[in-house]
Amino acid sequence: MNPRAPLLAACIALAPLHALAVQLMSAPVAIANPQENTSLVSRLNALDNRPGLSADYSFRISSQHPGVVGQKITRAQHTYKGLRVFGSETVVVTNTSGDIVSVAAADRRPGLTPSAVTPSGIATPSPPPPDQLTPNLSSDDAIARAVQAVAATGATHRWTPSAELLIYPVMKTVRTSSAANKPDDQLNAMDVEEVVDRYALAYLVQLRMALGSKLIYYDVVVDARNGDIINKWPTLQTVIGSGNSQYNGVVPISTSATSGGFQMLDSARGTGGKYGGMAITNANHSSPNNPDPGSIYTNSSNTWGDGLQYNGGSTTNANGQTAAVNALWGLMNTYDTNKNVLGWQSLDGNNTATYIAAHVGTSYDNAFYDDSCHCMYIGDGNSFYSLGAIDVIGHEMSHGVTASTADLIYAGESGGLNESNSDIGGEMVEAYARNGGTGSSVPASGNDWMMGKEISKSGEPLRWMYKPSKDGSSPDAWSANLKNMDVHYSSGPNNRMFYFLSQGSKADSGSDYYSPYLTKTPAAMSGIGNDKAYRIWFKALTTKFTSSTNYADARNKVLQAAQELYGATSKEAIAVQRAYAAINVGADIDEAGDGGGGGGEAVEQVVNGGFESGTTGWSGSTGVIGSHSGQAPYEGTRYAWMGGNGRRSTETLTQRVQIPATASSAQLSFALHIDTAETSNTVYDTLTVSLRAASGSLLTTLATYTNLTPAAGYQIRSFDLLPYKGQQVTLSFVMREDRSKQTSFVLDKVNLLTR
């Protein structure tokens, strides 16, 4: 190893970790062309070379949206023999040169190892044999069966029904071996797992229908061989249930000049879409079973509304305009919250404009988001006041964000998380709007943690986030029955988790803010505030969640997001673990303890991950380990300085680690600082992080970092290694420099914490 030749940037004081949290999402991304998609699929196939994989297994690009500046997030569905495997997918983060930065996945593909055996020792069933991959039913037959199954005979189709032929994993819940003898009422979410019981060739039928005054939106899974209904779930995403705003007084609204006056078209927020910008339209009592959004609101002056509940008369006079004022102010603040705080533009991150139609139906007690048009409809209310309150708008628009990213299946635990994300979004938009609707952070207060309180004539909100059970139906904590509940109720525990993460809890057992599951010290956990809690949650949703994410998976991925943003042992990572423990998902830990792993029973599998004991535990180019004046450590005094030579060179560090077969979580994390003298927009120098089997064969490449991704200070990288439980694997860091201009990859604080 030659003496290092670092840039001046290498000597800059380390950026505080909290600065990493204010990284913004990048501008709208260019959607990859077919050739780029083919290239990415090829790279994914090359990375995913586990035993059992063959040419029958591949990937299908489903969506793309921005990551943080310089990154793109791509969602790739898993396929088997050309058919999508439902709920099985990979989330890939790539940098500007197309290198894979991180990967998260939900793998339900048949016949794979090492993920073929669960912690309970249950083998994944085989896929349907080739002679059972030909359907006996046509797509039209499947649609007819689905219509019959949801009792929609005589209904009309609002949107053309679709029927996708796919492989459907029929799931079942099993206990982990460590929880085999636990009483049912003592089970924790980490004590059970969802495993594949069998695979079926099936049609996923999507129905968007109307019958009378009732909307019938359902996804139905129909067995393609015999026509049986395997599963079905409703998909209509509802709340249940200077202008003069009804709820917020006089508010500024962004309109556009038009011939003879003004219109509610906000051209400063969003582009394209149906109206070319964010718009509020007048549905003018159009039937909710087949609503016509109508035309954009217009007015001769730029003063709108009278601030009063709609009286049932004209929808275009001052009183009728008030519902539109509510809607536009809510839409503006939803857009601004996510863009100004996170950098996320509109619902899809790509700044595509949406619209809200006011005055749907007559005395209609509902508001709903319709993903077929990426828009929202608002009723005037009967038992409720007009449903255009700020948290309701934020809630419904957040459904659009979910649909564009994780696309959480609207049933079971994933459906509860889908609804919870919308409640979280509604509360954060409310906090932002109530404090002026400006700034780059979510204010610490301003929201009431009660969903829909303003629209309630009784004063009772639809949901209490801090104690969901106050509504009489929502649970406060996870239980095995959660997956069987309506998604508006199964959202309750995660809502409470987010409240605790932001605001903390109380130790008084008689308090609405108390959790009996917080058994460590202190009994009252500390919150980290709205801003940090929302950043962590949003990062997990957009870069890690898959459509089938459940509560246990969400806990692990939210923890990874916190570790990446704030550090493996940060107070924020500790708060995530305690907040989930408070709802019976994972074990509680002491607040002053280490926050890097899977709970109070975390075990470190890496020897000398901070390099303070020199070369102990490490093999390869161990001369890179030490302490030098040109670089600062993440913590302690030593680190591994890979690269920085300014000449053609290769350096490696490896360590063999064991991931216990009984592990319920396995989190790899490390601190990495990159600086470079390269100036071209070309990859010259790389650091590849991978796992290898005991035989030496490549299991997977976790990430590749390059000279194109330098940063002042360390960044925390984390990966879920649970798919490799029961194996002894070699953790490998390989640095390659070209013939000139140094790039330094400085590594510290390598942890593999298992529970």
Integer Cα distance of 667 and 596 in angstroms = 8
With a cut of 80, say whether residue 620 has pLDDT above it. yes
pLDDT digits (tens, 9 = 90+) for 524-537: 999 999 999 999 99
Find the angle CA(586)-CA(591)-CA(597) to the nearest 5 degrees. 45
What pLDDT is attached to residue 2? 39
With a cut of 70, say whether residue 406 has pLDDT above it. yes
- Secondary structure (3-state) at 670: strand
pLDDT digits (tens, 9 = 90+) for 214-228: 778 899 999 999 999
Q: What is the dihedral sign for C-alpha 203, 206, 211, 215?
A: positive
What pLDDT is attached to residue 5? 42
**Weakest-pLDDT range from 453-467, 516-530, 599-613:** 599-613
For the chain, the structural domain boundaries read 132-235, 243-404, 408-601, 603-755
pLDDT digits (tens, 9 = 90+) for 321-358: 999 999 999 999 999 999 999 989 999 988 999 999 99
Q: What percent of the chain has pLDDT over 90?
A: 55
With a cut of 60, say whether residue 22 has pLDDT above it. no
With a cut of 70, say whether residue 698 has pLDDT above it. yes
Largest distance between two CA atoms of the chain? 82
What pLDDT is attached to residue 241? 35
Provide the CATH topology of domain 132-235: Nuclear Transport Factor 2; Chain: A, (3.10.450)
pLDDT digits (tens, 9 = 90+) for 167-192: 999 999 988 877 888 898 899 998 88
The DSSP code for 17 is G
Of the candidates 486, 702, 750, the residue with the CA atom closest to the CA atom of residue 606: 750
With a cut of 90, say whether residue 539 has pLDDT above it. yes
Mean pLDDT of 495-521: 97
What pLDDT is attached to residue 34? 77
Do the beta carbons of residue 741 and residue 689 sit within 8 Å?
no
CATH, domain range 243-404? 3.10.170.10
pLDDT interval class at 249 (50, 70, 90): confident
Integer Cα distance of 700 and 679 in angstroms = 30
With a cut of 60, say whether residue 598 has pLDDT above it. no
Convert 450-481 to b/e letters by CB count within 10 Å (16 or more is b): bbbbbbbeeeebbbbbbbbbbbeebbbbbbee
Q: Which helix H or strand E contains 541, and what residues bound it?
A: helix 530-543
With a cut of 70, say whether residue 122 has pLDDT above it. no
Residue 275, token pair as written in the block:
């109206």
199 vs 630, residue with greater confidence: 199
Q: Given CATH 2.60.120.260, say whether it is the number of domain 603-755.
A: yes
Q: Given CATH 3.10.100.10, say whether it is the number of domain 408-601.
A: no
What pLDDT is attached to residue 243? 66
pLDDT digits (tens, 9 = 90+) for 38-75: 887 887 776 665 555 678 888 998 888 888 777 889 89
CA distances from 563 to 181, 188, 476, 596, 634 (A): 33, 23, 26, 7, 14
Cis peptide before 128 (omega within 30 of 0): no
pLDDT digits (tens, 9 = 90+) for 407-443: 999 999 999 999 999 999 999 999 999 998 899 999 9
Integer Cα distance of 42 and 78 in angstroms = 13
Do the beta carbons of residue 741 and residue 646 sit within 8 Å?
yes
Of the candidates 692, 547, 719, the residue with the CA atom closest to the CA atom of residue 47: 692
What pLDDT is attached to residue 110? 82
The catalytic residue positions are 396, 488
What pLDDT is attached to residue 20? 40
Range with the largest mean pLDDT of 19-23, 268-272, 285-289, 414-418 = 414-418
What pLDDT is attached to residue 593? 58
- Secondary structure (3-state) at 25: strand
What pLDDT is attached to residue 679? 87
